[in-house]
Amino acid sequence: MRRLIVAEFMTLDGVMEAPGFEEHRDGKNAWALRLQSEEVQGFIRDQYANVDAFLLGRTTYQIWAAFWPTIPSDDVFTKQMNDIPKYVVSSTLKEVEWKNSKLLRGDIFAEVAELKRQPGRDIVVAGSADLVNGLMEHDLVDEYQLLLFPIILGSGKHLFRDGIDTRPLRLVNTRAFSSGVVLLTYQPEHELPTSPYVEEYSWTQEQVRSLHAAQDTERVLATILFTDIVDSTGRAAALGDRAWRKLLDRHDEVAQAEVGRWHGQFVKSTGDGILATFDAPTRALRCAFGLREALAGLGLDIRAAIHTGEVEMRGGDIGGIGVHIASRALSKAGERGVVVTRTVRDLATGTDLTFAPLGSVGLRGVPGHWELFEASIA
The pLDDT tens digits of the residues spanning 149-198 come to 999 999 999 999 887 888 999 999 999 999 999 999 999 998 999 999 99
Nearest to 124 by CA among 21, 51, 196: 51
Q: What pLDDT, on a 0 to 100 scale, did the predictor assign at position 25?
A: 83
On the question of pLDDT at 128 being above 90, the answer is yes
Percent of the chain with pLDDT over 90: 72
Note the pLDDT tens digit of each residue in 97-118: 999 999 998 899 999 999 999 9
Distance CA 84, CA 97 (A): 14
pLDDT of residue 369: 87
**What is the full DSSP assignment across 175-243?**
EE-TTS-EEEEEEE-SS----HHHHHTPPPHHHHHHHHHHHGGGEEEEEEEEEEETTHHHHHHHH-HHH
Pairing assessment for the beta strands 353-363 and 101-104 based on DSSP bridges = unpaired
Average pLDDT over the chain reads 91
- The answer, yes or no, to whether residue 10 has pLDDT greater than 70, is yes
**The predicted structure's pLDDT at residue 217:** 65
| Predicted local distance difference test score (pLDDT) of residue 40 | 94
Choice among 176-180, 247-251, 312-316 with the minimum mean pLDDT: 312-316
pLDDT at 120 over 80: yes
Residue 12 banded pLDDT, cuts 50, 70, 90: very high
294 Cβ contact list (under 8 Å, min separation 6): 254, 258
What's the alpha-carbon Rg for the chain, to the nearest Å? 31
* β-strands 366-377, 338-341 pairing: antiparallel
**Strands of the chain, DSSP E:** 4-11, 51-57, 86-89, 101-104, 122-125, 143-149, 169-176, 182-188, 219-229, 265-269, 273-278, 302-314, 317-319, 338-341, 353-363, 366-377
- Closest by Cα among 358, 353, 331 to 342: 358
Q: Which of 102, 136, 157 is nearest to 4 (CA)?
A: 136
pLDDT tens for each residue of 52-108 = 999 999 999 999 999 999 888 777 788 888 899 999 998 888 899 999 999 998 899
**Does residue 218 carry a pLDDT above 80?**
no
Query: Residue 371: exposed, middle, or buried by beta-carbon count in 10 A (0-12, 13-18, 19+)?
Result: middle
228 HSE (CA, 13 A, CB side) = 19
CA 106 to chain centre: 30
What pLDDT, in 10s, does the model give residues 338-376? 999 999 999 998 889 999 999 988 888 787 888 999 999
CA distance 173 to 252: 63
Between CA 56 and CA 138 the distance in angstroms is 16
Go through the domains of the chain in sequence order and give each one's CATH number.
4-188 (3.40.430.10), 216-377 (3.30.70.1230)
What predicted TM-score, i.e. pTM, was given to this entire model?
0.62
How confident is the model over 221-248, as pLDDT tens digits? Answer: 999 999 999 988 888 888 888 899 899 9
